Amino acid sequence: MAFLKTRDGTHLRWKELGSGRPVVLIHGWPLSADSWDPVMMELADNGYRAIAYDRRGFGHSDHAASGYDYDTFADDLADVMKETGATENVALVGFSMGGGEIARYMSRHGGQGVTQAVLVSSVVPYMLKTDDNPDGVPQSTFDEMTDGMKTKYRHFFTGFFKDFYGDGVLTDKVYDEEKHWAWMTTMMASKYATMKSAEAFATTDFRPDLPSITVPTLVIHGTKDQTVPIDATGRAVAEQVPGATLIEYDGEPHAVFATQTERLSQDIVAFLDNRRSA
C-alpha cells in the first residue's frame, strides 16, 4: 500500500492502476477506495491512470482526530493530486459524499488542473430539507441516523446497507457478500470520523460552490435512490450547472457502483473519451 502525508500530517492510503490521463476517484460514506476497484480496472483498460484514496478516518488512512469538514476534505484532495502528480488535464469522479469534495475543490482551489467532473449519486448541492430546499431530506431523518449510530452502531449499518444497495427496490438483489464487505469496511473506519462525516454531508450547503464548476460535468443518479434523493441532488445540479449532462438510472438505488457496475464504467469512459478526442 502507498501512503501520502497531507498538509496537516494525516497519512492517506492511495492506489493506482494504468497509465495515461489521470482520473482521481473519491469514494462514498462510509466505505473506502476499494469500492472503485471495478471502475478503476475499466479505466486502466481504456488508457487512463486511475487513482483512488481512502478518505481520512476511513479504510487504511489515519484515524485523524480532526478535519471532518469539506474544507479539509478538499485540501486533502488537493494534496492527493499534488503528491501523485495528477496536476494537469485531470478528471475527478466522486460518489455520494465524494461529490462534495469535487464541488468544494472547484471553489476553494479554483479547480486547478481539472478539466472534467463526474458526480455519481452525489450529495451536491444540498441534502438538508429547508424552506428553500423543499426536496431535501428532513432533519429528523439525520437525527435518527445519528441516534442509531450512537446507540447501536453495528446494528445500524446492517439496516442502512439494505437501502443503500436497494433491497425492496431491485428485483435482482445485490448479493449478501457485497453488503457484508460494505459492513466490514465500515467497521474498519473510525466511529468518530463516520459520525462527523455524516454530519458534514448532511449539513453542508454546496449551492455557493456550483458556479465554480465550469468544466464539462457528468451527473449519474438512480431514480430510486433512497439514501440521496435525486430531486434535491442530481436533478438540481443538472439544472444549475451550465453544460452538465444528467444520466438517470431508472429504478436504481444509491449504490450504482455495485448494481450497475458495467454500465457505470462504460458511461464514465465514454464521457472521458469525449475530452480525449477533443
The domains found in the chain, sorted by start residue, are 2-277 (3.40.50.1820)
pTM, two decimals, is: 0.97
Taking 60 as the threshold, does the pLDDT of residue 268 lie above it? yes
Q: What are phi and psi of 129, to 5 degrees?
A: -75, 125
pLDDT (0 to 100) of residue 72: 98
List, for residues 214-257, the tens digit of each pLDDT value: 999 999 999 999 999 999 999 999 999 998 999 999 999 999 99
List, for residues 132-157, the tens digit of each pLDDT value: 999 999 999 999 999 999 999 999 99
Closest CA to 20 of 80, 86, 67: 86
**What torsion do the CA atoms of 160, 246, 15, 39 make, to the nearest 10 degrees?**
80
pLDDT (0 to 100) of residue 1: 74
pLDDT (0 to 100) of residue 228: 97
Q: Which of helix, strand or coil describes residue 164?
A: helix
Rounded Cα distance, 117 and 162, in Å? 29
pLDDT band at 172 (very low <50, low <70, confident <90, very high): confident
**What torsion do the CA atoms of 177, 28, 166, 160 make, to the nearest 10 degrees?**
80
Catalytic site residues? 96, 225, 254
Determine the Cα angle at 243 with ends 127 and 119, to 5°. Answer: 40
